[in-house]
Chain A
């Protein structure tokens, strides 16, 4: 399994760079990674969905879908697209240290 090292943080990743061990994640690391996906400033509005995703996935074992973010987390999907343009589901999963949502192929 490949690992990534950034600013002294080492973490295990899959072929696409997503964390494979959620415990490797930290907020400091998320700030650094945010820059890589084009998020210059992590505001409280950026953090809130990531925190929800980590809490929710700890219970369910899967990364929540955008619909679940809205239905259970109370986030507006439109806002999530504004905060994380283009690919909110993928970018947020990446920054929350979780697997991206997948199908079976």
Chain B
């Protein structure tokens, strides 16, 4: 019997397993491994700190999202041996594979910033919202916050869902306005990049949003450490930014087993061909979703677009044929901008974010790169689409390759 093993039952691994089950012959076994049976709707993390979503709302069974013809194995991965095509699990069991797909996502690593885990800081005055318990703890902190300096901070790129910190800043502005205490809160967005918006087309279209919302920006901030005594983050250039509440996105890394198995780069992301998603280390290994090093956003939409390509490429690889399908880096996302509005972004490896409208049929038209109420509703409706259509692999009214229909190229004046 031939076996495909998928490491990770998150967004990418689940979608892929369900699609592969339909594509591969029944006598092929598909095994998905993950450390627990909790599938988190990660876009929901953003809404937990503000009390819009409860923590329970974003969690469902991983197994329940998988096709019945897929085997689900609860265990952590310890090591991959690409030469003998074996995966060693934390319990000591070994799984053999003909084909391996790494879909193990990213891990926020607070331990990589010196001082951040100090008990005078961590989950006392400093929080992350890239984990569910972090987001839940932050909700309590926001509720009891009496005002002062709030830093929304990104440690280093790449991060999962790169606009989430910006959305957090927008929603925090909204949250404190509704509580009539915005005047007591000084919000600063701290980024290692040269601004909140790094692409000319985005800064031209969106640059005013931050000023309108009185959110300051501290650019080019390379964090050296957190000073728990002073309650400040300290940059390599000597800048010190004091905080009363720090909301940080820790360094995002791949899983430790990837590094330990020699399959990752310095951050533990799997180097793959950016079009075929095949590992550069082993022909028998592919990677998908946040776990890869492809130069596009780490986001569920990207994983969704990658799935179609990976299924075709894996089928070809099994048949011993050249890999036919070329992923183009397509990404899109809704950006919550507060006050019940959202923006929609759409881009790929070669194209800047576009203005215009997105797709005309069924889910559209939604305004690209413009704030609208419909976009906000689109973002909220996505929760249902995620569980009921995206994970089971039902057809979505969104193409996997980027189309320019209805879109206005970057830099074009209209």
Measured between alpha carbons, how far is A89 from B163 in the docked complex, in Å? 20
Question: Does A43 belong to the interface (CB within 8 Å)?
Answer: no
Question: Does A5 belong to the interface (CB within 8 Å)?
Answer: no
A104-B156 contact in complex given A67-B251, A77-B224, A89-B194, C-beta closer than 8 Å? no
Contact mask for chain B residues 347-366; partner A; CB cutoff 8 A; 1 contact, 0 none = 10000010000000000000
Contact mask for chain B residues 70-104; partner A; CB cutoff 8 A; 1 contact, 0 none = 00000000000000000000000000000000000
Contact mask for chain B residues 165-209; partner A; CB cutoff 8 A; 1 contact, 0 none = 010000000000000000000000001111001111010001000
Question: Does B212 belong to the interface (CB within 8 Å)?
Answer: no
B406 CB → nearest A CB, Å: 20
Question: Does A72 belong to the interface (CB within 8 Å)?
Answer: yes
Q: Which residue of A lies closest to B332 (CB)?
A: A104
Chain A residues near B219 (CB, 8 Å)?
87
Contact mask for chain A residues 37-70; partner B; CB cutoff 8 A; 1 contact, 0 none = 0000000000000000000000011100111100
Question: Does B409 belong to the interface (CB within 8 Å)?
Answer: no
B153 CB → nearest A CB, Å: 14
A contact residues, total (Cβ < 8 Å): 28
Question: Does B266 belong to the interface (CB within 8 Å)?
Answer: yes
B335 touches A16 (CB 8 A): no
B200 touches A89 (CB 8 A): no
B169 CB → nearest A CB, Å: 13
B295 touches A105 (CB 8 A): no
Q: Which residue of A lies closest to B353 (CB)?
A: A105
Measured between alpha carbons, how far is A47 from B368 in the docked complex, in Å? 42
A103-B198 contact in complex given A81-B237, A86-B220, C-beta closer than 8 Å? yes
B348 CB → nearest A CB, Å: 11
Instruction: Name A's interface SS.
Output: loop
A66 touches B331 (CB 8 A): no
Chain A residues near B331 (CB, 8 Å)?
104
A65-B274 contact in complex given A104-B162, A105-B335, C-beta closer than 8 Å? no
A105-B163 contact in complex given A16-B200, A61-B274, A68-B266, C-beta closer than 8 Å? yes
A101-B157 contact in complex given A65-B192, A77-B224, A90-B194, C-beta closer than 8 Å? yes
Q: Which residue of B lies closest to A14 (CB)?
A: B200
Question: Does A9 belong to the interface (CB within 8 Å)?
Answer: no
Measured between alpha carbons, how far is A104 from B134 in the docked complex, in Å? 24
Contact mask for chain B residues 145-173; partner A; CB cutoff 8 A; 1 contact, 0 none = 00000000000110000110010000000
Q: Which residue of B lies closest to A73 (CB)?
A: B266
A62 touches B266 (CB 8 A): no
Chain B residues near A61 (CB, 8 Å)?
274, 295
Chain A residues near B156 (CB, 8 Å)?
65-67
Measured between alpha carbons, how far is A71 from B122 in the docked complex, in Å? 25
Contact mask for chain A residues 14-38; partner B; CB cutoff 8 A; 1 contact, 0 none = 1110000000000000000000000
A102-B266 contact in complex given A66-B222, A67-B251, A87-B220, C-beta closer than 8 Å? no
Chain B residues near A90 (CB, 8 Å)?
194, 220
Measured between alpha carbons, how far is A88 from B192 in the docked complex, in Å? 10
A104-B194 contact in complex given A66-B156, A77-B222, A81-B236, C-beta closer than 8 Å? no
CB under 8 Å from chain B, chain A span 74-105: 77-78, 80-81, 85-90, 100-105
Q: Which of B163, B206, B237 has the most CB of A within 10 A?
A: B237
A68 CB → nearest B CB, Å: 6
Chain A residues near B162 (CB, 8 Å)?
103-105
Measured between alpha carbons, how far is A14 from B194 in the docked complex, in Å? 16
Closest 7 CB pairs between A and B? A105-B202, A102-B198, A77-B236, A81-B237, A15-B200, A67-B156, A104-B162
Q: 5 A-B pairs, CB-CB below 8 angstroms?
A: A88-B220, A88-B222, A90-B194, A104-B162, A105-B345
